[in-house]
Structure 1
Amino acid sequence: MLAMKFDLHLHTTRSRDSIIELDDLIGVAKKRGLRGVAITDHNKFFRGGERGEVLLIGGSEVRVEGVDILCLFIDRIPKGDTVEELCEWVRDEGGISVFAHPYGRMRSLLLKERIAEAVDAIEVFNSRVPFSWMNSKAAILAKRFEKGITAGSDAHTPDEIGRAYVSYDESERLEDLKEAILRRSVEVRGTRSPLTVHISSTMHKFFKGRGPLEDLLREAIQ
């Protein structure tokens, strides 16, 4: 079986700072050889399924205690007021909790260690981090705490889709993908996005819902 590629972190227009429409996502994912994607909009839930031969993994990116946690392979809205409560809820639902871009924001070492202890996996490659060492340190953190590993583009614009992904060649069953993530048997691949993607996201967040201004920005970005 050929290796299948999964981008496990991206956003659609349900996130205020993303311009990716679902139909565009499907088209770009197929063009770039992705078997599946995890749609992880900010504090919103996306139900999984299959569309246009692309597997859509149910998920959400939840901000809790100032930390971003990816909740993957879930079937309903995540719950939890603390990192530990959220991770326990995801686990009880049969999903995987992931510490997203652990070095992408300034956090104390004690907080990072507490989160690493609570989650099931750590995102060891995120295409949107500004420096490569942030991904390297994330991989070290995952190894130290013996956690599963994931990778994702964190795409907010169509051009970013598929810039980071995990690949494996065992089966197309999502249960098998989950197990591969947890036992660290997936391959991680990726390239970082240019820093300009953050400018486009910030501008879109500001202009979203402002009619012609939003349309002009969308055309400029695409």
Structure 2
Amino acid sequence: MASTATTSPTKLSVAFCICNGVTLSDFIPPSEILASLNMADMPIFPAEFKDAMKYRVSFDFLAPTMEAVASVPGLGPRISPTQTYQGALDAGTQYDILWVPAGPMSDPVTGEDLTPKSEVDFLAAQAPGAKYVMSVCAGSAILAKAGVLDGKRATTNKWLYRVIEKESPKVNWVADARWVIDGNIWTSSGVSAGSDMALAFLEHLVGREVAQYVRGIIEVIEHTQTEDPFAKFHKLV
């Protein structure tokens, strides 16, 4: 008798790496795009796409402490972490996907780097075992601080491009790109480009038909990987 067993979907664990000063739009819209993978278990999801949905996702929002994180400390919305960087390392957790949004700007007076050391250390420890490492906007500068982008092609926020390029000379920065893929490392340009990259990543995982279906739900206009008007806007090309 032929087997009727079906293969269970692969669960991908995602770590959103946040701290005070994080850019919320770098990870909240992309998290909702990635969460569409879990829609396959809902009756409303089109039956013709279900066979393509070979992945599900679970999320952790990591921060230096369990205190709520704000994009501008003392102002605006706050996000409650689900785990700390050190807690994840102590537990021996290895995440499949590391998602790194932009963090705080350097101190405008002293120039001090305000990126938490615990985040940089976490990324350095986790990146070798991750299936995918992804950043949005100046999140690539944090990956560069962790040594993850040494010798890799990457892009970043075009407003801050020259500053980040100067601070991270070991990275092969690409000025004219909406997002860049180098092996398992995906980096996007500024803020809204993170949603473009998330949809491209969804297409990478489950195919174009599903990604376009999700695009239609959330109404994000499609951009290609090399469609980057802001490189010209900021006189980088």
Same fold (TM over 0.5): no
Larger proportion of strand: 1
Normalised TM-score (structure 2): 0.32
Computing the radius of gyration from Cα coordinates, the structure with the larger value is 2
